[in-house]
Structure 1
């Protein structure tokens, strides 16, 4: 069985991908390339890769890779002069006119924040204190945390739809779009590729946000196989396989980025209420999303992570077009009902399927 393996940035990957399936292909795939068009770029603090099997789509792939580069310049909080940096520096001073895409992205983050379920797009003052994932990461003092907590409130964002401006009404407030921008960018890339006639391919943003276009090159009865890595050791072999076609796969986990202080590992996913990383039973959560929203699951996965396994599972069950694989810190794996035939646990020595009803 022929496989396509995507090479990712070391250790951060929670996924591997393969164009294989146990099902027989029924679609005529002679129009597809045996060796795909495969290009990548390093931007947005990660490795972005586009793989396309359709012939003559080199220009489309090149154009798609310009999108994350553009949005990195617009949304990064680590680069002076970016659009988000300009918004933050003008907090409490004046509104800033923004790019239509960024305007919609911030609106999406606002809508997630308004659910009041542990996610807030104005968490910037806190993330800049911890800086987890950066060379200067550190555990801040309690007094530092107490000082910035009052600055975190999505209600400080003021929108002007006509003028397309964003205004942070509280001086010192800061947006941080890191938790939602990859899914948003992935969808923009997918939209461009599909408009250019791409039917079979993969858009991969650092493995935390992946979109598989169509079915695998084996045919329209063969989904892509997505290997979910062990969240305790992302460099190890996969712990399970998720089957997907024309869907978005998004993950959040405690070992993607963390800070270790005095033997304790602090996740990069911060609680806007306490000022500390969330500390619950989730090791990783992987969402399988059909359809489309503005951020295509990035904000949702963070929001679900904040809830813990039991409440997060129950929340997912109420949503349309979203399924999930939860891995807890006891190496139990919980899958939502829609994944019964789309997920296979492969590392049974370490992990076992759990019953969500056993959790309190």
Structure 2
């Protein structure tokens, strides 16, 4: 089992951008920034969460932001007895459970993605607990075990009461699992907290697979941040490309992010709620670039897109507003949606090649 480090925020002294615009297009930088940024991190939610801020005198703002993932880990984990999600699961078919406003908002967001019926369902908890991919006790369950839990996976078993802020699983043994969506949700709350406290230039990094960049990079008021995208075949090695981003969320997921190997076959952690097995398609990794106000659901969206495969996923992203994508398939072909081509540079050209989406069936 292995954890991929999908994204790396490239240090400002390590790389220069080749397409930052000419000098006449530069915006005067009036920011008074630290030469050495303030960096703090915390280990929670099964990963490390790091905040990097270049604005001066923002220690309190960073400390406040880092409390958010710790709080939501206690509220939403399914691996800890007493969390609000655990309470909902334990009371499935028994009674509604009142939850915090943020948790209620999070479950509603997961419900909306599930209702698209495109390979994502937040009631997948009974299946993920069978496989436990990414945990020390991961195993391949029997077909009988899988068949027993598949009827329990259906977002329609969730009932909401907006006035009382209660959530009710109407069928016994149904289990919520928000692991695929909570990190993006929490990170955006951290970003909003930092901005409300005056942060203009910084990074929120959740385990290197999900990065939010605040403002523009310290290089200049019009210069984007540089995000290194790792090789999905060798996540501990060098990056395969660089993505430029400003005030955006960059989310990468792939088949080697977490996996279970049994008899020489690698099973991805991204499970199909219809079959009970990990999805099998041509995608090695997906990197989403999300803009606009609603950047909270990059994790859920990437899971949904992964379920479609490269061709259909690409076509789906092309119809969306404020979302672009870099697809890497198992043949080491890279496919860029139309709005991201000027923001991505392929750096590992020996192994990877830019592909034409029209060549895929």
Matches within 5 A, 1:20-39: 20-22=16-18, 23=20, 26-28=27-29, 31-39=32-40
Post-superposition shift, 1:209? 1.5
Secondary structure at 2:62 match in 1:
helix
Aligned to 1:148: 149
Aligned to 1:13: 5
Give the whole-Å Cα distance in 2 for the aligned partners of 1:82 and 1:195.
28
Aligned to 1:4: none
Matched, 1:162 2:158: no
Any unmatched runs of 5+ in structure 1? 1-9
Matched, 1:196 2:197: yes
* TM-score between both structures, scaled by the size of structure 1: 0.96
Post-superposition shift, 1:30? 5.6
Matches within 5 A, 1:87-166: 87-166=88-167
Matches within 5 A, 1:189-228: 189-228=190-229
* TM-score between both structures, scaled by the size of structure 2: 0.95
Which deviations, in whole Å up to 9, do the C-alpha atoms of 1:296-317 show, x marking residues without a partner?
Answer: 3111111001000000000000
Give the whole-Å Cα distance in 1 for the aligned partners of 2:223 and 2:294.
25
Secondary structure at 1:273 match in 2:
coil
Post-superposition shift, 1:16? 1.2
Post-superposition shift, 1:293? 2.2
Give the whole-Å Cα distance in 2 for the aligned partners of 1:32 and 1:297.
29
Aligned to 2:245: 244
Aligned to 2:328: 327
Any unmatched runs of 5+ in structure 2? none
Secondary structure at 2:293 match in 1:
coil
Which deviations, in whole Å up to 9, do the C-alpha atoms of 1:77-115 show, x marking residues without a partner?
Answer: 000111100100000000000010010100010000000
Give the whole-Å Cα distance in 2 for the aligned partners of 1:124 and 1:292.
29
Q: Are the structure 2 counterparts of residues 318 and 55 from structure 1 closer, same or farther at C-alpha, using a change threshold of 3 Å?
A: same
Aligned to 2:296: 295
Aligned to 1:6: none
Whether the 8 Å contact between 2:153 and 2:273 is mirrored in structure 1 is yes
CA RMSD of aligned residues (A): 1.2
Give the whole-Å Cα distance in 2 for the aligned partners of 1:139 and 1:54.
48
Structure 1 segments (4+ residues) deviating >6 Å: none
Aligned to 1:304: 305
Aligned to 2:355: 354
Post-superposition shift, 1:223? 0.4
Secondary structure at 2:111 match in 1:
helix
Whether the 8 Å contact between 1:289 and 1:296 is mirrored in structure 2 is no
Give the whole-Å Cα distance in 2 for the aligned partners of 1:104 and 1:318.
26
Matches within 5 A, 1:182-193: 182-193=183-194
Whether the 8 Å contact between 1:29 and 1:219 is mirrored in structure 2 is no
Whether the 8 Å contact between 2:6 and 2:229 is mirrored in structure 1 is yes
Give the whole-Å Cα distance in 2 for the aligned partners of 1:98 and 1:72.
14
